[in-house]
Amino acid sequence: MKLELKPDIEAGLLAQGHARGLALEAYLDEVLTSAAATKQRLSSRKSLAQLFAESPLKGLDLRFERDSDPARPITL
C-alpha cells in the first residue's frame, strides 16, 4: 500500500516512530494494525442485556444485595 503524506504529517509520524525506535514504515504498520484490532473489538461488543442473556449463570435464581450503609466505622 502506498500512502502520500503531507510533509508536516510525515515529519510528525516520523518523530513518533523514532521515539519508539521504529522506522516510519514499521510505525505506520503498528498504528494501522492497532486501529484494525480496535475496530474489530468495538464491532464485536455486546450490550449489557446481551451479556446477561448469554451468561452461563442465566436461569439461576441469584439474589444480590448491597449494604445500605457503606460508611466505615469512625473512632472519635
> Model confidence over 19-43: pLDDT tens digits?
989 898 888 888 888 888 888 777 7
44 secondary structure, DSSP code: T
Residue 62 lies in a domain: no
Q: Is residue 58 part of a domain?
A: no
For CA atoms 6, 7, 11, 14, the dihedral sign is positive
User: Into how many domains does the chain fold?
Assistant: 1
Within a domain: 49: no
Q: Is residue 35 part of a domain?
A: yes
Instruction: Report yes or no on 69 lying in a domain.
Output: no
Q: Tell me the pLDDT band of 1, cut-offs 50, 70 and 90.
A: low
pTM: 0.46
What's the pLDDT score for residue 19? 92
| 5: containing domain | 1-39
